[in-house]
């Protein structure tokens, strides 16, 4: 039988009534002749509660026990979903990560999937099981310990199963009805996209759009898994939601597909750094080791053998960055006059595969911001995106201005 993967996020299974609603959706697909692998998240709020319990019990916790605790939320949902389906006379059973087994690395709390053997589950489908309800977000390490995949890891679980079992499609059910040109809460002109290319979705996800986890889109692009983002709270048909697919499956793309933003950004500048070979490695090596997620990097013109080095990172990592740079300075690895951190900035980005074949996109972006009196602090570009740092107070104005400038409300 053809196979479909369906993933339900925390809000979609946040109560017994919502689990029943999701089960009815699964029943519709079973009635169409599909075998279904269902990936479930913990009920909304449960993972945060479990994390809070761990922190309260042991602030310097053992990561292996952390995973054992926080993975339990998905186990509860999987069992309840299987019971609900059984009450509907649908042959279903729940699977925890170790039962599949979903094999991962040993990096607890942020493990990566290494292999999903299919024999065990396929044997159960052969015996008459129609729905496998899998606890998302979790797997098993080579040492036999439970691991978790990081926040949002159920999306990655779903795509990995779709790739391993060569599913016809992977449907992601969430609290929004698709991928929009920007956040509808900021612009009432935001338009739902019928299709979006993997590369565009990957950039939007990494730049702050929270519809899909970045790693899940990476996996989908690598293995060619067709993703569909749908709402759990609306009636859907074959044309509902947004299909995330290969570029060649899209007839005609707009130059810009969407505007993304990240509110919690900081700009860090090392003032008067020695401009010498290896200085970049001396700065960004320690930052990497300290777990600082550096994004935009700009080096000023060198004067008298000194330069300023600017980079952006999440605001909650500024203290970590400052500590890493001070330690390197104390050790004599780098020398700078001062470190200046601006934690009141936001990152605004435009994304679109159409940028490859159209000139003047960056100029149009800069003109739209200029017309609103918005000063740009840092600029970075890639083949299909342009990102800028601006004062956070102008964030919503910038998003609306760019959405209007590129006429993203038009199909």
Contacts of 56 (CB under 8 A, 6+ apart): none
Q: Distances from the Cα of 329 to the Cαs of 216, 292, 302, in angstroms?
A: 38, 17, 20
Find out whether 19 and 230 touch, Cβ atoms under 8 Å.
no
What would the mean pLDDT of 245-255 be, rounded to a whole number? Answer: 80
Cα–Cα nearest to 261, from 315, 204, 220: 204
Length of the chain: 411
Q: Which 3 state secondary structure label does DSSP give 328? A: helix
Which tens digit of pLDDT belongs to each residue from 7-62? 999 999 999 999 999 999 999 999 999 999 999 999 999 999 999 999 999 988 99
pLDDT reported for residue 404: 96
Q: Count Cβ atoms below 10 Å from residue 288 Cβ, excluding itself.
A: 13
Average predicted confidence (pLDDT) for the chain: 93
Q: Count Cβ atoms below 10 Å from residue 237 Cβ, excluding itself.
A: 6
Q: Does the pLDDT value for residue 265 go beyond 70?
A: yes
Q: Could you identify the residue written with the tokens 């699977």?
A: 95
Q: Does the pLDDT value for residue 238 go beyond 80?
A: no
Find out whether 3 and 169 touch, Cβ atoms under 8 Å.
no
Annotated binding site: 7-10, 47, 74, 174-175, 180, 185, 210-211
pLDDT reported for residue 248: 83
pLDDT-derived band of residue 208, with 50, 70 and 90 as boundaries? low
Q: Distances from the Cα of 18 to the Cαs of 27, 65, 210, 281, in angstroms?
A: 14, 30, 21, 51
Q: Does the pLDDT value for residue 340 go beyond 90?
A: yes
Find out whether 292 and 321 touch, Cβ atoms under 8 Å.
yes
pLDDT reported for residue 123: 97
Dist. CA 200–CA 385, nearest whole Å: 9
pLDDT reported for residue 237: 72
What residue ranges define each of the domains in the chain, with the CATH number in brackets? 3-175 (3.40.1160.10), 259-405 (3.30.2130.10)
pLDDT reported for residue 252: 66
Task: Please give the sequence-ordered ranges of beta strands (E in DSSP) within 41-167, or none if there are none.
Answer: 92-95, 103-104, 113-115, 131-135, 138-140, 146-148
pLDDT-derived band of residue 254, with 50, 70 and 90 as boundaries? confident
Annotated binding site for ATP: 7-10, 174-175, 180, 185, 210-211
Burial of 33 (0-12, 13-18, 19+ CB in 10 A): exposed
pLDDT-derived band of residue 354, with 50, 70 and 90 as boundaries? confident
Annotated binding site for substrate: 47, 74
pLDDT reported for residue 233: 85
Q: Which strands make up the sheet holding 131-135, listed edge to edge?
A: 92-95, 131-135, 35-40, 3-8, 169-174, 227-231, 242-245, 195-197
Highest mean pLDDT among 68-77, 304-313, 354-363: 68-77
What would the mean pLDDT of 86-112 be, rounded to a whole number? Answer: 96
Which tens digit of pLDDT belongs to each residue from 356-389? 888 899 999 999 999 999 999 999 998 899 999 9
Dist. CA 273–CA 294, nearest whole Å: 18
Q: Taking the C-alpha atoms of 291, 293, 296 and 297 in order, what is their torsion angle to the nearest 10 degrees?
A: 10
Bond into 373 cis (ω within 30): no
Which pair of structure tokens corresponds to residue 126?
Answer: 């052969």
Burial of 230 (0-12, 13-18, 19+ CB in 10 A): buried
Least confident of 31-35, 98-102, 119-123, 180-184: 180-184
Which tens digit of pLDDT belongs to each residue from 162-185? 999 999 999 999 888 889 999 988
């Amino acid at each position: 039988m053809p196979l479909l993967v369906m993933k339900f996020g925390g809000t979609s299974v946040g109560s017994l009534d919502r689990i029943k609603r999701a089960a009815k959706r699964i029943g519709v697909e079973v009635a169409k002749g599909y075998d279904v692998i269902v990936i479930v998240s913990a009920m909304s709020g449960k993972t945060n509660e479990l994390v809070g319990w761990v922190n309260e019990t042991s602030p310097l916790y053992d990561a292996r026990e952390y995973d054992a605790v926080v993975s339990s939320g998905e186990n509860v949902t999987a069992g309840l979903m299987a019971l609900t389906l059984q009450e509907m006379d649908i042959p279903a059973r729940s699977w925890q990560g170790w039962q599949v087994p979903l094999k991962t690395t040993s990096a607890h709390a942020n493990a990566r999937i290494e292999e999903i053997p299919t024999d065990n589950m396929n044997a159960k489908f052969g015996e008459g099981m129609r729905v496998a309800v899998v606890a998302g977000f979790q797997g098993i390490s080579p040492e036999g310990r439970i691991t978790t995949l990081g926040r949002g890891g159920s999306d990655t679980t779903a795509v990995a199963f779709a790739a391993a079992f060569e599913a016809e499609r992977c449907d992601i059910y969430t609290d929004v009805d698709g991928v929009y040109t920007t956040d509808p809460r900021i612009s009432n002109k935001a338009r739902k996209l019928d299709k979006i290319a993997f590369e565009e979705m990957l950039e939007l996800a990494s730049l702050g759009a929270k519809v899909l986890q970045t790693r899940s889109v990476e996996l989908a692009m690598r293995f060619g898994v067709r993703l569909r983002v749908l709402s759990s709270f609306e009636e859907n048909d074959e044309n509902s939601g947004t299909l995330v697919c290969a570029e060649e499956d899209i007839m005609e793309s707009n130059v810009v597909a969407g505007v993304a933003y990240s509110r919690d950004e900081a700009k860090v500048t090392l003032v008067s750094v020695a401009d010498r070979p290896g200085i970049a490695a001396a700065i960004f090596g320690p930052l990497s080791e300290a777990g600082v997620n550096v994004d935009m990097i700009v080096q000023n013109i060198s004067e008298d053998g000194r330069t300023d080095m600017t980079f952006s990172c999440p605001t909650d990592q500024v203290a970590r960055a400052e500590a890493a740079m001070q330690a390197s300075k104390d050790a004599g690895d780098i020398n700078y006059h001062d470190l200046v951190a601006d934690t009141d900035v936001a990152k605004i980005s435009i994304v679109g595969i159409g940028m490859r074949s159209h000139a003047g996109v960056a100029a149009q972006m800069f003109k739209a911001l200029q017309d609103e009196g918005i000063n740009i602090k840092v600029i970075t570009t890639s083949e299909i995106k342009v990102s800028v740092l601006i004062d956070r107070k102008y964030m919503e104005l910038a998003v609306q201005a760019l959405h209007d400038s590129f006429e993203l409300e038009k199909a």
